[in-house]
Amino acid sequence: VGSASAPLEREFLGALSAAPPDVRMRVVMDYHRGRRAVGDTSSAEAVSAALKNTSASLHLFRVPTPAFSSLSLPSPINEVAGVMHMKAYIIDDEMILTGANLSEEYFSDRLDRYVLFRDGAGGLVDFYADLIEAMAEASSVHGEPETSENDANKRDLMRSVQELMDTHGSRAEATFEKIKADTIGFATPTIQVPTSMYGGGGGGPLPPGRA
């Protein structure tokens, strides 16, 4: 969230602060990128402050790292070991996928990096909602004791991700069987993960169609 001091960044954080208490909201960001100092704050601190009086929760997802744990590296060098870089924003059955940060320059000067999916997008929105849910469950909640990064937790996360891909993959195959003549394209979710997420130092690709 940039420096959280520019006008459009403050407007965005203000919108988060104004969320009604009965609105369920989860925010997941990368553990290291979110804690990187930006001016006199960080993205995690800025978002956490904005969510203070809401029912929302902020989750910091730590990409499982290899043996030379990034914890021994200073910020921002520790991000070289792995960063969760997904940028998906979901409201009800609509979703924006983008490569843009929530910072002033992207809000004002770089508006060509957004794809809006409506009406659930044939299950695509549900897929990303479920993926964010799984990542939140495997994350540390900001301000609470941190989630352990052990092999069992890595395997649990990978199991959740693979089950998710299997479930939504089957739905996608059923959808393909109902292709209309005027269909001009498809949106199929993919996931790229480091081998360190498999736990035990092992690794390898997800099953065919899952990587």
> Which are the catalytic amino acids?
85, 87, 92
Tell me the β-bridge partners of 42.
37
Please tell me the distance from the alpha carbon of residue 127 to that of residue 142, in angstroms, as a whole number.
24
DSSP letters, 61-106, are E-----SS-GGGS-TTGGGGG------EEEETTEEEEES--SSHHH
Residue type, 79: E
The helix/strand/coil state of 33 is helix
Residue type, 187: A
Structure tokens at 77: 């060098």
Sheet holding 114-117, edge to edge: 88-91, 94-98, 114-117
Q: At how many degrees (to 10) do helices 151-176 and 124-137 cross?
A: 170
Q: What is the DSSP letter of 139?
A: S
